[in-house]
Amino acid sequence: MIGKAKTRFFIRTFGCQMNVNDSEKVAGLLRAEGHEPAADPATADFIFVNTCAVREKAADKLYHSLSRLKKLKAERPGLRIGVGGCVAQLEGERILEKARHVDLLVGTHTLHRVPELLREAAGRPAVDLDRKANAFAVPDAAIDHLSPVRAYVTAIEGCNHVCSFCVVPRTRGPEVNRPPDAIVREVEGLVKRGYREVMLLGQTVNAYRFEDLDFADLLARVDVVRGLRRLRFTTSHPEHVTPRLADALRDLDTVCPYLHLPVQSGSDRVLASMRRGYDRRRYLATIALLRDRVPDLSLTSDIIVGYPGETDEEFQETLTLLQDVGFDGLFVFKYSPRPGTTALRLADDVPDEEKSRRLRVLNDHQQRLQRARNEARVGGRDKVLVDTIEPGGASGRTPQLRIVHLPGAGPNALVARLSQPIH
C-alpha cells in the first residue's frame, strides 16, 4: 500500500469558500504526486472529508459521513480515510477515538501535508494538527480550481474578531495576511492559464493589511493584472468598510459591484452581545455610504435567528432591517452554541421551533423583497460570464453575481461564440 502506489482520491467538502479552496489545494497536491481523482467515493482508494465547524449541524455531518464510510471500508479494507479542516482542528485526536477507521488527520494549517501523511499512514493513523504551520505553503500552480473561469485566491487566513457566537478564531486562528506580491503573482498565473475571474478570500477579507497597504490598495494592485476581467472578494466585515473601499468598488475596472456584508441582527441589544462592533444605525450608515458611491451595488448578508435571549421584538427589528437595506440575497441560520465561544455562557433559550419559525419568516420576507428587486431589472441588459455549459443551455453570473440562465444556448452555439476573444 505504501511507496509509490498511485491512489484514486475523492474529496468531500463541507462549509465555506475557504474550505472549497482548501480542498482545491489538497486535490492539486495529490495530483502533483500522480494520484488521480475518482468520480465517486465507491471507486476511490482514499476519501478525504474536509469539515466545517461553524454550526453544530455542520459538525454532525462529519460523523454521519464517517459512519457511512465505515461500512464502505468494511467492504474494501484497502480504502483509506482522511479528515481535515475546522472540525479536525477543533476536535483533534478525539476523532480518532470516535472513529477508529480514520487513517489520516490534518487541521486547518496542515492540509498541504496530506500527500506525505498518506504515505506514512500505514497501520496506524498519521496526524498533524500543528496550527503554527505555514498556511500558504501550497504552490499556486498546484491548486486544482474547480471552476474553469473563476478561481479563489487566499488573501488572509484566520480572523481577529471576537464575535461571541463564532468558532472560526478557534479553528483557523488569528489573521495572517499574505504578501501582496504573492497574491498578484498568483493572479497573473491564473490569467495566463485562462481564468477570467478571481475571488479573493478571507474570513474578514477587507481587514487586509500588509505593511502600509490596506485592502483598497490590494484591490488596486490586482485590478491592473493584464487579462483579468472580474475581481471579487468575500467575506467583508462592516467595521472595515471604508470610503476608500467604496471608491475602489466604483472606480476599479475589474472590481464587481457586489458585497457580502453579514449583519447578523437588526437589534442593537443582540449586536452588542454578539460583539459585532457596530449597531443598527452604523450598519445603515455604511450601506448609505456604499449606495451613495457605488452605482447598482448588489448586497447580500447573513443573519442568525434565535441568538440567546432574542425576543420577538428584537427579531422584528431584524425583519424591518431587511426592508431598510434591500438585500439582493440572504443566508439565515438558526443560532447554534459552539465550543469555546463566549456566547456559550448564555442560555440557548429560544426553542428550536421558534428558531425555525423566525428563519421561515425572514426567508419569506426576503423572497418577496428579492422578487421585486429582480422584477425591476426585467428588460435590462447585463454582461454574463458563462461558467456552466450543459446540453439544455448554459448559465453564468452578472457582475452583481446574479445567476442568469441562458436556455437553448447549448454547447455548440456557445462554444462557437466563446472561442472568440471575450470583449
Positions in the binding site for ligand 5AD (CB under 6 A): 54-55, 165-166, 262, 264, 302, 304, 333, 335-336, 338
Spatial contact of 328 and 402, defined as CB atoms under 8 Å apart: yes
Q: Please say which residue, 112 or 338, places its beta carbon nearer to ligand 5AD.
A: 338
Residue 109, judged by CB atoms within 10 A of its CB (0-12, 13-18, 19+), counts as buried
Find the shortest distance in angstroms from Cβ 160 to ligand 5AD.
Answer: 16
Residue 280 beta carbon to ligand 5AD: minimum distance, rounded to whole angstroms? 16
In the complex, minimum distance from the CB of residue 19 to ligand 5AD, in angstroms, rounded to a whole number: 11
Q: C-beta of 97: minimal distance to ligand 5AD in Å?
A: 25
Residue with Cβ nearer ligand 5AD (304 or 386): 304
Cβ at position 270, least distance to ligand 5AD in Å? 12
In whole angstroms, how close is the CB of 401 to ligand 5AD at the nearest point?
Answer: 17
Q: Comparing C-alpha atoms, which of 235, 239, 240, 259 is closest to residue 249?
A: 259
Contact 62, 32 (CB under 8 A): no
In angstroms, give the least distance from the CB of 166 to ligand 5AD.
5
| Residue 267 near residue 318, CB atoms below 8 Å | yes
Q: Are 274 and 283 in contact (CB under 8 A)?
A: no
Nearer to ligand 5AD, 302 or 314 (CB): 302
- Least distance from C-beta 292 to ligand 5AD, angstroms? 25
Query: 280-293 and 243-251 helices cross at what angle (nearest 10)?
Result: 30
User: Which residue, 60 or 247, has its beta carbon nearer to ligand 5AD?
Assistant: 60
CA distance 268 to 247: 28
φ, ψ of residue 323 in degrees (nearest 5): -65, -45
262/266 with CB nearer ligand 5AD:
262
Which CB sits closer to ligand 5AD, 279 or 302? 302
Q: Which residue is nearest to ligand 5AD (CB)?
A: 302
Nearer residue to ligand 5AD within complex by CB, 116 or 302: 302
What CA–CA distances, in Å, run from 309 to 73, 267, 269, 274, 349?
Answer: 45, 12, 10, 11, 6
Task: Tell me whether residue 164 or residue 254 sits nearer to ligand 5AD (CB atom).
Answer: 164
d(CA 240, CA 282): 12
